[in-house]
Chains A and B, each alone.
Chain A
Amino acid sequence: MAIEVHDVSKRFGDFVALDDVCIRVNDGALTALLGPSGSGKSTLLRIIAGLESPDSGEVRIGEEVVTDAPARTRDVGFVFQHYAPFKHMTVHDNVAFGLTVRRRPKAEIRGRVSELLGLVRLDGLADRYPSQLSGGQLQRMALARALAVQPRVLLLDEPFGALDAQVRAELREWLRRLHEEIHVTTIFVTHDQEEAMEVAEQIVVMNKGRIEQAGTPRELYESPRNEFVMSFIGPVNRLGEATFLRPHDIQILPSAAGEGTEALIERVVHLGFEVRVELKLGDGRDIWAQVTRESAQELELHEGQILAVRLPEPRVFAT
Chain B
Amino acid sequence: MSATPTASATAPGRLKAPALLGGGRSAAGALGKGMIGVYLSVLVLLPVAALLAKAGSGGLDAFWREVSGPQAQAAIKLTLVMSAIVVSVNAVFGTLIAWVLVRDEFPGKRTVNALIDLPFALPTIVAGVVLLALYGTNSPLGIDVAFTRASIALALLFVTLPFVVRSVQPVLIEMDRSMEEAAASLGAGPVTVLRRIVLPTLTPAIVSGVALSFARAVGEFGSLVLITGNLPFKTEVGSVYVFSQIQDENLPAAAAVSVVLLAAALIVLGALTFISRWRSKHVL
Give the interface of A toward B (CB within 8 A): 49-51, 70-78, 80-82, 84-89, 97-98, 101-102, 129, 131, 142, 145-146, 148-149
Asked whether A131 lies within 8 Å of B283 as measured between CB atoms, the reply is yes
Asked whether A82 lies within 8 Å of B176 as measured between CB atoms, the reply is yes
Q: Chain A residues near B187: list those with CB within 8 A.
A: 72-73, 75, 98, 101-102, 149
Asked whether A84 lies within 8 Å of B184 as measured between CB atoms, the reply is no
Q: Chain A residues near B188: list those with CB within 8 A.
A: 72, 97, 101
- Of A50, A82, A87, A88, most buried by chain B (CB within 10 Å of CB) is A88
Q: How far is the CA of A73 from the CA of B284 in the complex (A)?
A: 31
Give the interface of B toward A (CB within 8 A): 176, 178-179, 181-189, 192, 196-197, 200-201, 203, 282-284
A139 to B: closest C-beta gap in Å? 13
Of all chain A residues, the one with the shortest Cβ separation from B197 is A86
Q: Chain A residues near B184: list those with CB within 8 A.
A: 50-51, 70-72
Asked whether A84 lies within 8 Å of B283 as measured between CB atoms, the reply is no
Asked whether B181 lies within 8 Å of A80 as measured between CB atoms, the reply is yes
Given contacts A72-B185, A97-B183, A146-B185, list 11 more A-B pairs with CB under 8 A: A49-B185, A72-B184, A77-B185, A82-B178, A84-B178, A86-B183, A87-B201, A97-B196, A98-B186, A102-B187, A149-B187
A158 to B: closest C-beta gap in Å? 12
Q: Chain B residues near A80: list those with CB within 8 A.
A: 178, 181-182
Q: Chain A residues near B186: list those with CB within 8 A.
A: 72, 97-98, 101, 145-146, 148-149
Q: How far is the CA of A54 from the CA of B240 in the complex (A)?
A: 61
Asked whether A76 lies within 8 Å of B185 as measured between CB atoms, the reply is yes
A149 to B: closest C-beta gap in Å? 6
Q: How far is the CA of A4 from the CA of B178 in the complex (A)?
A: 24
A101 interface neighbour in B181, B192, B200, B283, Cβ under 8 Å: B192
Q: Chain A residues near B185: list those with CB within 8 A.
A: 49-51, 71-72, 74, 76-78, 146
Q: Chain A residues near B183: list those with CB within 8 A.
A: 86, 97, 101
Q: How far is the CA of A78 from the CA of B187 in the complex (A)?
A: 11
Q: How far is the CA of A86 from the CA of B200 in the complex (A)?
A: 10
